[in-house]
Structure 1
Amino acid sequence: MTPTQRNRKKPKETGLERLVSYIADCQSGKASLADFESYANKQSWLDYLLFIELAASQDSMINNLFLESWDGGSIWHIMAYDMDETFGIIWNYTPAQVQPGVIGWITNYNAAWTMLREYFADDLAAKWKYLRDNNVISSDTLDKTIRRLTGTISTDDFTADVTAWGTNSLSTYGFLITWIQGRIARLDEQWGYNAS
């Protein structure tokens, strides 16, 4: 067992209930997001919001996310899992329906996430600018990431996967990189980004 594992406190269910109640109270007007950092790690949540907007991961707002606390459940961090509906892939949507300019804000599909995006709009725009200015988010960076990851898949594994599951127009490099370029441009416009 590592020192980190020994010092880690198991989150209590009451801590999660506290977070959920707080977000519900913010939505109803009984509480304010000005107190958000008393319940959640703000940077973790803002980074996650940027991620789900970039990936247009509708499924990652409620269903496919992990909440984690390292202090027993007072302050919550957020992270994703099961990324099957990202980067232009949304079940039962056509390619025309998932285009970056058509799909709009992905957080508009959930009132709590819309509330967070609107309240922290200035923070999100500043972080987006930082990530764009430092080439963390760019079509070139994401292209290199795609190529690096796909390079780890053997030809035999790829053939077996296509044989088992088939493929479609959304499962191509061309669709993915074009979609990413469009999504970045869309978010640049939404967050008022101009390259420095």
Structure 2
Amino acid sequence: MAQNLDAPVWQFRSDRKVVYLPDPGTAFSVLITGSIPQGSSEETVVSVSVMFGDSVMMQCAASIKWQGQSSLGANKKSYKLAWQDDDGNDVDVKFGSWLPAGKVDLKGFGSMSAIGNFDRTMARDVISAQIWRNIRSAYSWPNNRIAPLSAWYAAESDMSGPPVGALFSTDGKPCDVYLNGVFAGVFVWRTAAPVSDYVMSKSNPDHILVQPQHGPGDLWSNWSGTNSSWEFDSPKKPDTTSLKSLITYFGGLLDGSTSWGDFRKFTDFNSWIDYTLFCALVASFDSQTNNLYLASWDGGKHYHVCAYDLDETIGIVWGGKSATCEPEDLAIPATQNSFWNAFYQNFGPEIRARYAVLRYRNVISQEAFVGLLDGFFKRIDPNSLKADSKLWGTNDQSSYAYMADWMSRRIAWLDAQWGYSA
């Protein structure tokens, strides 16, 4: 009888192309069995099991490879998993409220001691992205949807359902990872930023998603020679015309040949104000040259800014230590980029006014920040975090207390700099 009952269940499991994985809201384990890549050029196929407590919630095959750019030099590697069924066909996994996706990153956030402290709490990337989403969502309808309402209409035109789980950045949940039965540490099960998370389709030529990749210092003001530093995620066959026009316009702002009064003609102005404010709040020193996305849903007529890759925030600066990363000492904006500095100087009043609204509405506050910290750390088994630190090391900036104190002082300092008083 049991065999007869199990047969349709196993048939159902083998046929489906989306696996539904509930978010447990607490610690969970990822067991990876098979040949683990030993170099950045390797990719293998492994078996992956996800367990909540003693219950196996998912078993799936996946190709696995190292993930990241700078993190390739860390002592604790990060991995990218691409889901497969038993026949090697692609499978999507829907984790909690996230949109279904064929890939997930296991971020290790390891140490690279030669270049300063790194975030060994593994919390900054997740928490900073949520701060950015909270800022972008703090508008009345429909501007609280981040993407224009027309994009939401277009997303449902193929009857695929409303993309209400779209993140417009990344999100992650901490988990314990075991490689062939051996504890490998606490990792972050993080979204891989598929274009669907930006309410986009690669087949739509009007949906542009592009990011700078470690370009030269004049990346934002000189198109000549820098176009190869921009990497398009969408559409499938990108046209660089609108991006070239944007960068050429930015260059003109610096040499005086174009006007700041035309900025709204090229951009979603509010997103640029919010993004500059956000970078000042979390002191993201590298998020105004690299580590961001430009998004357009109208063929490049207006470009929005989206945050991405945020582990070097809240006191973590490349090459820095705690003594050099005090919240009162990190400049606004935290960049040497001429365009972003000029933007801040020209639109300072708008940035300060928006900050006052967000402070008044408690979107930016110590209480809101501690709530995000609590939400992240309560999902980690303290013993696992202790074991991870023993395996991979830690530093004096990688603690709950440091982050909470740093943000409290940063907000107080910004209040003084920008003249906010409750």
Give your verdict on TM over 0.5: yes
Q: Which residue of 1 aligns with 2:401?
A: 174
Distance 2:329 2:207 in 1: 42
Distance 2:328 2:253 in 1: 30
Equivalent pairs counted in the alignment come to 195
Q: 1:165 to 1:16 in 2, by over 3 A?
A: farther
Distance 2:380 2:242 in 1: 41
8 Å CA contact 2:294–2:304 kept in 1: the answer is: yes
Does structure 1 residue 82 correspond to structure 2 residue 309? yes
Distance 1:86 1:155 in 2: 23
Q: Deviations over 1:107-130 (max 9, x none)?
A: 452221111111111111110000
In the TM superposition, residue 161 of structure 1 has moved relative to its aligned partner by 3.8
Unaligned runs of 5+ in 1: none
Q: 1:156 to 1:14 in 2, by over 3 A?
A: farther
Distance 1:136 1:29 in 2: 36
User: What percent identity do the matched residue pairs reach?
Assistant: 36
Does structure 1 residue 10 correspond to structure 2 residue 179? no
In the TM superposition, residue 152 of structure 1 has moved relative to its aligned partner by 2.4
Q: Which residue of 1 aligns with 2:276?
A: 49
Q: Deviations over 1:1-49 (max 9, x none)?
A: 7436569523331111111111111011111111001111100111111
Q: TM-score, normalised by structure 2?
A: 0.44
8 Å CA contact 1:107–1:113 kept in 2: the answer is: no
Does structure 1 residue 147 correspond to structure 2 residue 374? yes
Distance 2:306 2:387 in 1: 30
Q: Which residue of 1 aligns with 2:190?
A: none
Q: Deviations over 1:141-194 (max 9, x none)?
A: 101111112222344653454244321100011111111011111111111111
Residue number among 231, 251, 262 corresponding to 1:24 in the alignment: 251
8 Å CA contact 1:107–1:117 kept in 2: the answer is: no
In the TM superposition, residue 54 of structure 1 has moved relative to its aligned partner by 0.3
Distance 1:155 1:67 in 2: 38
In the TM superposition, residue 59 of structure 1 has moved relative to its aligned partner by 1.0
Mean Cα deviation higher: 160-169 or 25-34: 160-169
Distance 2:256 2:396 in 1: 45
Residue number among 329, 337, 345 corresponding to 1:118 in the alignment: 345
Unaligned runs of 5+ in 2: 1-154, 158-198, 209-238
SS of 2:293 mapped into structure 1: strand
Q: Which residue of 2 aligns with 1:72?
A: 299
Q: Which residue of 2 aligns with 1:162?
A: 389
8 Å CA contact 1:40–1:75 kept in 2: the answer is: yes
In the TM superposition, residue 104 of structure 1 has moved relative to its aligned partner by 2.4
Q: Which residue of 1 aligns with 2:35?
A: none
Distance 2:259 2:334 in 1: 19
Q: Which residue of 2 aligns with 1:62?
A: 289
Q: Deviations over 1:129-148 (max 9, x none)?
A: 00001111011110111111
